[in-house]
Amino acid sequence: MRRDLLTGNAAAAWGARLAEVDYIPAYPITPQTEIIEDLAQWIGRGELEARLVTLDSEHSMLTAAGAAAATGARVFTATSSQGLVYGFEMLYTVAGWRVPLVLVNVSRALAAPITLEPDHNDVLAARDSGFLQIHAETCQEVLDSVLMAYRLTEHPDVLLPVLVNLDGFYLSFTREPVSLPAAAAVREFLPAYQPVHAKLSAGHAMAQGVAVLGGSAYAFFKYQMQRAAEAALAVHAGIAAEFADRFGRSYGVVEGYQLDDAEWVIVMANSFSTVGKAEVSRLRAGGEKVGLLRLRLVRPFPVATIVAALSGRRAVAVIDQNISIGKGGILFAEVASVLRGGSAPPLRSFIGGLGGRRFRSEEFDLMLAALRQAEHSGGSSEPHLLFSETEYLQLREMLRIAHGQK
């Protein structure tokens, strides 16, 4: 094992390299392109025995990925933002094929207006597609999650594609120390894929897919996908335990930070959780019993684990780095849907980090004050949009200049 300074993109590429993937259909898009560039360089130098093919769009890329996975190949691909939504039709199709595939999404906010900075409207738009979702906070977690994702997607009780998400720019281009496991050790953890369900075999020809199904048969296969996603929770637990034994790093379906005695809890996901942890430490230093729950597995949604982590707290704030226009935070709605009964804490919804907007310390003070109020007045589903007076004045000035006003 060695340690290198790697970007999040390079860590994702190393995950695919160590997984010894067979096929990489690709289409470039900022901020994901570095992943494909690294893999192409390794293939060009003979360091990775894989076939990389550039397609004419993300829709074609995901079609090729699913088709190759149906032949029994180990397939890796990556995209971001508009690319993910451009291939949206194929997300549902590939998941319905029940073929193993790992797709890395480098989160970037969706247009319009356009920005290259991250939020999670792209990846969360795919949450109902049948792809399982792992959300990473650090570069090390990106690499490790890609390896774990192959074990998860290839497990016979699962056979659903897995999407590993990392934040564009804040993680994709940030260098962090990353431990690179030895190829031999990874090979023991992740042996070559031996397909039994979908494969290319002249001796055992098989047809996949049918033209049209009636409602009963369609419902049956959709229920099978739901059961497989539910089974993924137990499968993930076994994979995570083995990964911890072999490589010394432990990953649950959620991560608790300063959570044991926390009276007030903040729920976050992805790389901005690092900012949240720093703020929790600052508030702890001031005597506040605050903790943070980071959502790592978003699909399947780890209901029992979240209920156990949040029940009995004085109040909980869910910070969404996304916005469902007309409703509010997506993760707030998901968390609220599983908490009920006398032990359910009052909840408050906050939306911040859209387009990569940085959080301010005073906003965490505001959230804590809102939780104190919620303990007595009850929760609220109304989203609180984080935006400072300074930002508002700066934007007014930009609009004044844009309108040519003096």
Mean confidence (pLDDT) of the chain? 96
The verdict on pTM exceeding 0.95 is yes
Determine what percent of the chain is predicted with pLDDT higher than 90: 93
**292-308 tens-digit pLDDT:** 999 999 999 999 999 99
Q: Could you give the C-alpha distances from 294 to 269, 271, 318, in angstroms and in order?
A: 5, 10, 10
Specify whether the backbone of 195 is left (phi greater than 0), alpha (psi in -120 to 50) or beta: beta
Task: Read off the tokens for 54.
Answer: 């550039």
Residue 201 pLDDT greater than 90, yes or no: no
DSSP string, 64-114: HHHHHHTTT--BEEEE-HHHHHHTHHHHHHHHHHT---EEEEEE-PPSSS-
Q: Give the angle 288-279-393 at the CA atoms, nearest 5°.
A: 115
Q: How far does Cα 144 stand from its chain's mean position?
A: 13
Residue-level pLDDT at 98: 95
Look at the block and give the residue holding tokens 């010394």.
248
Task: Read off the tokens for 184.
Answer: 């031999």
Task: Read off the tokens for 108.
Answer: 């970037």
Pairing of strands 51-54, 102-107: unpaired
Residue-level pLDDT at 198: 81
Look at the block and give the residue holding tokens 């031999």.
184
Can you tell me the distance from the alpha carbon of 230 to that of 233, in angstroms, rounded to the nearest whole number?
Answer: 6
Can you tell me the distance from the alpha carbon of 228 to that of 96, in angstroms, rounded to the nearest whole number?
Answer: 12
Can you tell me the distance from the alpha carbon of 251 to that of 35, in angstroms, rounded to the nearest whole number?
Answer: 23
Residue 111 pLDDT greater than 80, yes or no: yes
Residue-level length of the chain:
406
**21-57 tens-digit pLDDT:** 999 999 999 999 999 999 999 999 999 999 999 999 9
Can you tell me the distance from the alpha carbon of 197 to that of 99, in angstroms, rounded to the nearest whole number?
Answer: 8
Can you tell me the distance from the alpha carbon of 171 to that of 166, in angstroms, rounded to the nearest whole number?
Answer: 7
Q: Contact, 115 vs 64, CB < 8 A?
A: no
Q: Is residue 77 helix, strand or coil?
A: strand
Q: Output phi, psi for 204, to 5 deg.
A: -135, 75
Q: Is residue 83 helix, strand or coil?
A: helix
Can you tell me the distance from the alpha carbon of 62 to that of 104, in angstroms, rounded to the nearest whole number?
Answer: 12
Spell out the residues 6+ positions from residue 121 whose beta carbon is closer than 8 angstroms to its own: 109, 110, 322, 323
Number of Cβ within 10 Å of residue 25's Cβ equals: 24
Residue 206 pLDDT greater than 90, yes or no: no
Q: Is residue 25 helix, strand or coil?
A: strand
Can you tell me the distance from the alpha carbon of 228 to that of 116, in angstroms, rounded to the nearest whole number?
Answer: 35
Residue-level pLDDT at 1: 76
Rg of the chain over all Cα atoms, to the nearest angstrom? 22
Number of Cβ within 10 Å of residue 282's Cβ equals: 14
Could you tell me the end-to-end alpha-carbon distance of the chain, in angstroms, rounded to an integer? 62
Of the pLDDT bands very low, low, confident and very high (cuts 50, 70, 90), residue 200 is confident
Q: Contact, 63 vs 90, CB < 8 A?
A: yes
What's the maximum distance between 2 C-alpha atoms anywhere in the chain? Answer: 78
Of the pLDDT bands very low, low, confident and very high (cuts 50, 70, 90), residue 210 is low
Can you tell me the distance from the alpha carbon of 2 to that of 179, in angstroms, rounded to the nearest whole number?
Answer: 6
**357-400 tens-digit pLDDT:** 999 999 999 999 999 999 999 998 899 999 999 999 999 999 99
